[in-house]
Amino acid sequence: MNVADLFIAEEPNMAASEPLASLYAETLSPRTDPRYYLFCKRAVDLLLSAFLFALFAPLFALIAILVRMDSPGPALFIQKRVGRNGELFDIYKFRSMFAGSAKYERSPTTSRDPRITRIGRLLRRTSLDELPQLLNVLLGNMSLVGPRPEMPFIVRGYSEQQQQRLSVTPGITGLWQLSPCRSFPIHQNIQYDLYYIRNRTFRMDIAILLRTLFLTMRRGI
């Protein structure tokens, strides 16, 4: 089964699957030297994240003010996540839940979750709460594209197959985020991450970034 079949099988709605199915063409191009790919990937991570960090600096300040005004507590939410080869790192997000909420629990699955603040609902719906992860990319513990990093207590329950997600640097966006399954837990839909790990190329990374930008703009950011 090729990736297009896999994605379409996951969601009969072709409109929802089209962004993923069209990425299949990127896997047909000749594979480049892994060292060259990793060099290009890191170069784009540094250049693009630095540019976006500077570009969105005023927005960062505005969101931080709104978060602080909406509910008591810090503007940033810092949490331990599991990165490449199982190494722990601090992930940065704008706080979207009340400061007294438990730090390590399953993430909310609905905007009506009582833990989410008013401004937090907007940040989550538009993915603006993820913007501080550009700092993680600059630091090198995340990439722009890759599997999403999970919390330690979830990773401790990983199967051998799920452990493969830890073989690459985690990312802000990826195939799973573009899939029809993005509303379900990551570890229950690892076929997207495993496909990416086996077939990733520089062209695929660029295509994922462009698709993410398109979907983000369509949602109204």
How does pLDDT run across 143-173, given as a tens digit for each residue? 999 999 999 999 999 999 999 999 999 999 9
Give the C-alpha separation, 162 to 110, whole Å. 25
In percent, how much of the chain has pLDDT > 70? 79
Helices 34-55 and 57-70, packing angle to 10 deg: 60
3-state SS, residue 120: helix
Please give the residue range of the domain that contains residue 174: 3-218
Which helix (H) or strand (E) segment holds residue 172: the answer is strand 171-173
pTM for the predicted model, two decimal places: 0.82
Give the pLDDT mean for 115-144: 94
**Number of domains the chain is built from:** 1
The pLDDT of residue 168 is 95
Exposure letters 182-200 (e unless 16+ CB within 10 A, then b): eeeebbebbbbbbbbbebb
168 versus 103: the higher-pLDDT residue is 168
Of 103, 127, 126, nearest to 115 by C-alpha is 103
**What is d(CA 148, CA 68) in angstroms, rounded to the nearest whole number?**
27
Non-local CB neighbours of 198 within 8 Å, separated by 6+ positions:
none
At 111 the pLDDT is 75
pLDDT tens-digit map of 7-50: 433 433 323 344 455 565 555 555 667 888 999 999 999 999 99
